[in-house]
Chains A and B, each alone.
Chain A
Amino acid sequence: MGHLGELEQLILFAVIALGDDAYGGAIRAHIEERSGRLISSGAISTTLGRLAERRLVVGRVGTPVPGQAGRPRKYYALTPAGARDLQESYTMIRAMAGGVLQRLNRLAEQES
Chain B
Amino acid sequence: MIRRSRIGQFLARVFIRGEEAPFILRDLDDSFNHDVVRGLAPADVRRRDLRNILASAASVWAESLRPSAWRPSLVDVRLGLRTIVRTPWLSLVAVCALAIGIPVGLAPMHVVDALERPLPGDPDGRIRTLCYWRDTVHEPATAGDYFLWRTSLRSFGALAAYRQTTVTLDRGGAGLSVSGIETTASTFDILRTPAILGRVLRADDERSGAPNVVVIGHDLWRAQFGGDPDIVGRPLLIGGAPFSIVGVMPPAFRFPTSHQLWMPLRMSDDGGAPRSGAPLVVFGRLSDGVTPDVARAELQALTSSLATENADLFDRLRAAVLPTWHLTFDFPSPGGLRGLPEFSLVQVLMLAPLFVACVNVGLLILAQTSTRASEFAVRTALGAGRGRILTQVFVEFMVLAVLAAGAGLVILDWLPGRLLTAWGITLPYWIDTGLNAATVLRGLVLAAGCAAIAGVVPVLRMTGRSIDTNLRRARASRSGNRMGGLSSALIVIDVAVAVVAIGVAGGLWAKVQATNPSQASDGIRAEEVLSVSFDVRSSQRQQVARAQAALVEKLRGEPDVRAVTFATTLPRMDHPIRLMDVDQDAAAVATPAAGPPRASAAESRGPFKVRTARIAIDFFDELDQPIVAGRGFDSRDLKEDAGTVIVNTTFAQRAFGSTNAIGRRVRQVTSDRTPVSPSLEIVGVVGHMGMHALTPSEDDGVYLPLAEGDVNLVRLAIWARGDPAVLAPRVHELASAVDPNAVIAMPAPLDEMFEGDWYFLRAFVVGAALLVGVLLSLAASALYAILSLVVSQRTREIGIRVALGANRWGIAREVATRAVVQIGAGVLLGLPFVGVMSYEFLALTGVGRSVPGAVTMASALGVSVMLLVSLAACTVPTLRALRLAPMDALRKEG
B23, B48, B51: the one contacting A74 at CB < 8 Å is: B23
Do the beta carbons of A25 and B58 come within 8 Å of each other? Answer: no
Do the beta carbons of B27 and A45 come within 8 Å of each other? Answer: yes
Q: How close is A68's CB to chain B, nearest CB, in angstroms?
A: 6
Separation of A73 and B22 alpha carbons in the complex (Å): 8
* A69 CB contacts on chain B under 8 angstroms: 25
List A residues 46-97 near B (Cβ within 8 Å). Answer: 46, 49, 61, 68-74
Do the beta carbons of B29 and A68 come within 8 Å of each other? Answer: yes
Please tell me if B568 contacts chain A, counting CB pairs below 8 Å. Answer: no
Tell me which of A12-20, A35-43, A98-106 binds B.
A35-43
Do the beta carbons of B26 and A29 come within 8 Å of each other? Answer: no
Separation of A72 and B22 alpha carbons in the complex (Å): 7
Q: A45-B20, A49-B63, A73-B30 are in contact. Are A40 and B56 (CB under 8 A)?
A: yes
Most buried by B among A41, A45, A69, A73: A41
Separation of A74 and B33 alpha carbons in the complex (Å): 17
> Which residues of chain A have a CB within 8 Å of any CB of chain B?
23-26, 28-29, 38, 40-46, 49, 61, 68-74
* A29 CB contacts on chain B under 8 angstroms: 31, 34
B26, B34, B57, B60: the one contacting A71 at CB < 8 Å is: B26
Separation of A107 and B463 alpha carbons in the complex (Å): 53
- Chain B residue with minimal CB distance to A71? B26
- Chain A residue with minimal CB distance to B20? A45
Separation of A22 and B507 alpha carbons in the complex (Å): 72
- Chain B residue with minimal CB distance to A39? B55
* A49 CB contacts on chain B under 8 angstroms: 20, 63
Separation of A41 and B57 alpha carbons in the complex (Å): 9
Please tell me if B59 contacts chain A, counting CB pairs below 8 Å. Answer: yes
- Chain A residue with minimal CB distance to B32? A25
Do the beta carbons of A42 and B58 come within 8 Å of each other? Answer: yes
Given contacts A24-B26, A45-B59, A72-B22, 16 further A-B contacts (CB under 8 A): A23-B30, A25-B26, A25-B29, A26-B30, A28-B31, A38-B48, A40-B56, A40-B58, A41-B56, A42-B16, A42-B60, A45-B27, A71-B25, A71-B26, A72-B23, A73-B26
Q: How close is B154's CB to chain A, nearest CB, in angstroms?
A: 67
Please tell me if B111 contacts chain A, counting CB pairs below 8 Å. Answer: no
A23, A26, A28, A46: the one contacting B60 at CB < 8 Å is: A46
Q: How close is B332's CB to chain A, nearest CB, in angstroms?
A: 59
Do the beta carbons of A42 and B31 come within 8 Å of each other? Answer: no
Q: How close is A77's CB to chain B, nearest CB, in angstroms?
A: 15
A23, A42, A70, A72: the one contacting B55 at CB < 8 Å is: A42
* B63 CB contacts on chain A under 8 angstroms: 46, 49
The 0/1 profile, CB within 8 Å of A marked 1, for residues 11-29 of chain B is: 0000010001011111111
Q: How close is A95's CB to chain B, nearest CB, in angstroms?
A: 30
Do the beta carbons of A45 and B56 come within 8 Å of each other? Answer: yes
Between A and B, 29 residue pairs with Cβ closer than 8 Å are: A23-B26, A23-B27, A25-B27, A25-B29, A25-B30, A25-B33, A28-B31, A38-B48, A40-B51, A40-B55, A41-B52, A42-B24, A42-B55, A42-B59, A42-B60, A43-B56, A45-B23, A45-B27, A45-B56, A45-B60, A49-B63, A68-B29, A71-B22, A71-B25, A72-B22, A73-B23, A73-B30, A74-B23, A74-B26
Separation of A74 and B383 alpha carbons in the complex (Å): 13
Q: How close is A13's CB to chain B, nearest CB, in angstroms?
A: 18
Q: How close is A76's CB to chain B, nearest CB, in angstroms?
A: 10
> Which residues of chain B have a CB within 8 Å of any CB of chain A?
16, 20, 22-31, 33-34, 48, 51-52, 55-60, 62-63, 468
Q: How close is B38's CB to chain A, nearest CB, in angstroms?
A: 9
Separation of A26 and B31 alpha carbons in the complex (Å): 8
Do the beta carbons of B20 and A46 come within 8 Å of each other? Answer: yes
Do the beta carbons of B57 and A42 come within 8 Å of each other? Answer: yes
Separation of A100 and B782 alpha carbons in the complex (Å): 72
- Chain B residue with minimal CB distance to A67? B29
Q: How close is B172's CB to chain A, nearest CB, in angstroms?
A: 86
Do the beta carbons of A71 and B59 come within 8 Å of each other? Answer: no
Separation of A74 and B22 alpha carbons in the complex (Å): 9
Q: How close is B366's CB to chain A, nearest CB, in angstroms?
A: 29
Q: A45-B24, A73-B26 are in contact. Are A25 and B31 (CB under 8 A)?
A: yes
Separation of A38 and B52 alpha carbons in the complex (Å): 9
A26, A41, A46, A72: the one contacting B28 at CB < 8 Å is: A41
- Chain B residue with minimal CB distance to A40? B55
* A68 CB contacts on chain B under 8 angstroms: 26, 29
Separation of A24 and B29 alpha carbons in the complex (Å): 10
* A24 CB contacts on chain B under 8 angstroms: 23-24, 26-27, 30
Separation of A61 and B28 alpha carbons in the complex (Å): 16
- Chain A residue with minimal CB distance to B27? A24
Report the 5 A-B pairs with minimum CB-CB distance, sorted nearest first.
A25-B30, A42-B56, A24-B27, A40-B55, A42-B59
Do the beta carbons of B34 and A40 come within 8 Å of each other? Answer: no
Separation of A49 and B31 alpha carbons in the complex (Å): 19
Separation of A28 and B368 alpha carbons in the complex (Å): 42
* B24 CB contacts on chain A under 8 angstroms: 24, 41-42, 45
Do the beta carbons of A40 and B52 come within 8 Å of each other? Answer: yes
* B468 CB contacts on chain A under 8 angstroms: 70
Separation of A69 and B34 alpha carbons in the complex (Å): 17
Q: How close is A21's CB to chain B, nearest CB, in angstroms?
A: 11
- Chain A residue with minimal CB distance to B466? A71
- Chain A residue with minimal CB distance to B35? A29
* B62 CB contacts on chain A under 8 angstroms: 46
- Chain A residue with minimal CB distance to B28? A41
* B29 CB contacts on chain A under 8 angstroms: 25, 68, 71
* A44 CB contacts on chain B under 8 angstroms: 27
Separation of A28 and B27 alpha carbons in the complex (Å): 9
Q: How close is B321's CB to chain A, nearest CB, in angstroms?
A: 62
* B25 CB contacts on chain A under 8 angstroms: 69, 71
Separation of A45 and B52 alpha carbons in the complex (Å): 12
Separation of A52 and B102 alpha carbons in the complex (Å): 43
- Chain A residue with minimal CB distance to B48? A38
Q: How close is A99's CB to chain B, nearest CB, in angstroms?
A: 38
* B28 CB contacts on chain A under 8 angstroms: 25, 41
* B52 CB contacts on chain A under 8 angstroms: 40-41
Most buried by B among A24, A26, A45, A72: A45
Q: How close is B36's CB to chain A, nearest CB, in angstroms?
A: 12
Separation of A70 and B23 alpha carbons in the complex (Å): 11
Most buried by B among A38, A68, A71: A71
B16, B22, B34: the one contacting A25 at CB < 8 Å is: B34
- Chain A residue with minimal CB distance to B29? A68
